[in-house]
Amino acid sequence: MFPDMKSLQNLAVVFLDRDKLVYFNSVNNQIAVYNYPDKLVRFMEIVNSKELEMQLKLFINYHKLPPARLIFILSPQITFEKNFSEEKEDLQKNIIEDFLYHLPFENNVHKIYKLEKGFLLSAANIDFLQVFMETFKNRGFTVFTVIPSSVTGMNLTTLDAPSVGFLLAKTDYLKEQTMIAGLAEEAHKPKEPEKKVMGLNRVYLLLGVFVLLFSFLLFMLYRQSAG
């Protein structure tokens, strides 16, 4: 049985895959799918971020997706992972550095998960994730958590009512296991213009005028004393 939707506080699940995004709206069990065009996303790299942002906004508007608190689930197709059993911190550091060095993207977000036996190191392209997260936030959504599929307890390849019900029954765990620390649960807010008491250019101009007048005054005093 699917969980009581009123108790879910407007949570929605976004499954990010290599070639598509699957959105599940827990309020009405709506599923919406956006397939990335090759000209915008290729091999987990964003080719044209501006165009992708525009298409994501059209996707949100077309499906009339209401602002929600988003659980981002990362497909195994877009994460790079390594299991290891080493517990010594210095040796762990060597394992992590070697693993991250060989990732096929420059900027990453990664997290070490403690398993029943050993550890799991999971990493993803942060530039790839950021475009999706920021676009949704700009439309009034908030990011609740970002977590790899491998630690959800399910072998997810897409979303449906039973799998989302399983995820929403363990939201506290999903929040604790987020890959991105310090997520602020607030929608995007435009920056307020900085209040400037006086622009630097104006300060420099007044200072220059003052120096010029002071120099002229000294010159006149010198001429009077010399005469």
- Answer yes or no: do 133 and 211 share one domain: no
- Answer yes or no: do 18 and 50 share one domain: yes
The answer as to whether 140 is a domain residue is: yes
- Answer yes or no: do 168 and 202 share one domain: no
- pLDDT, tens digit, 9 for 90 and up, residues 9-64: 689 999 999 999 999 998 888 999 999 999 999 888 899 999 999 999 999 999 99
- Answer yes or no: do 48 and 143 share one domain: yes
Domain count, the chain: 2
Residue that has been written with the tokens 């200072």 in this structure:
207
- Answer yes or no: do 13 and 93 share one domain: yes
- pLDDT, tens digit, 9 for 90 and up, residues 121-179: 999 999 999 999 999 999 999 999 999 999 999 989 999 999 999 999 999 999 999 99
- Answer yes or no: do 50 and 97 share one domain: yes
Pair of tokens at residue 215: 């120099």
- pTM of the predicted model as reported, rounded to 2 decimal places: 0.77
* Termini Cα distance of the chain: 105
- Answer yes or no: do 49 and 158 share one domain: yes
**Domain of 211?**
198-227
Where helices occur in the chain by DSSP H, the ranges are 49-62, 89-101, 126-138, 161-168, 171-176, 200-226
